[in-house]
Amino acid sequence: MTAEQARVLLVDDEEGVRLSLRALLDRDDQLSSVGSGEAAVAELPRFRPDIVLLDVKLLPSMSGLDALDRIKAFDDRIAVVMITAFASLATLNEALRRGAFGYLIKPFPRRDLELMVRDALAHRAGRPNGGGSGPTGR
């Protein structure tokens, strides 16, 4: 699997954030975006993502941590990167404990996003990292 073939699912309840993430990610990535945890879980069998960028504070009914649990139950190999504007160390540690690959704190630079996606793909492919130190969270 190469970075050019990455299937990335964007999950954020704010459409503006989803549009920004689309603009920041590599044009060669295959992208899908949804606005809720429920929609993310429903999208898994159809889209089969390699990586999920998942907002911690999803609305209306399923939290980001609950969505993380459902995603990992569907396929533990999916690399889930938590994204948040509200950095709670306890929440981020809980996400990592539940199997998240890492996290990014909004707003984050494009380079941090690129490094996190690269490292998550390398991890999924069984390589320890993408050849360099990762950004926030890893």
pTM for this model (two decimals):
0.87
Q: Which residues of 56-84 are buried (b: 16+ CB within 10 A; e: fewer)?
A: bbbeeebebbebbbebbeeeeebbbbbbb
pLDDT number for residue 59: 72
What CATH number is attached to the domain comprising 8? Answer: 3.40.50.2300
Q: Is residue 133 part of a domain?
A: no
For residue 112 the two structure tokens come to: 């941090």
Q: Is residue 135 part of a domain?
A: no
Q: Alpha carbon 75 to chain centroid distance? A: 14
The total domain count for the chain is: 1
Is residue 124 very low, low, confident or very high in pLDDT (cuts 50, 70, 90)?
Answer: confident
Q: Is residue 129 part of a domain?
A: no
Domain extent for 32: 3-124
pLDDT, one tens digit per residue, over 5-50 is: 789 999 999 999 999 999 998 777 899 999 999 999 999 999 999 9
Q: How far apart are CA 15 and CA 120, in angstroms?
A: 24
Q: How far apart are CA 102 and CA 94, in angstroms?
A: 11
Is residue 138 very low, low, confident or very high in pLDDT (cuts 50, 70, 90)?
Answer: very low
Percent of the chain with pLDDT over 70: 88
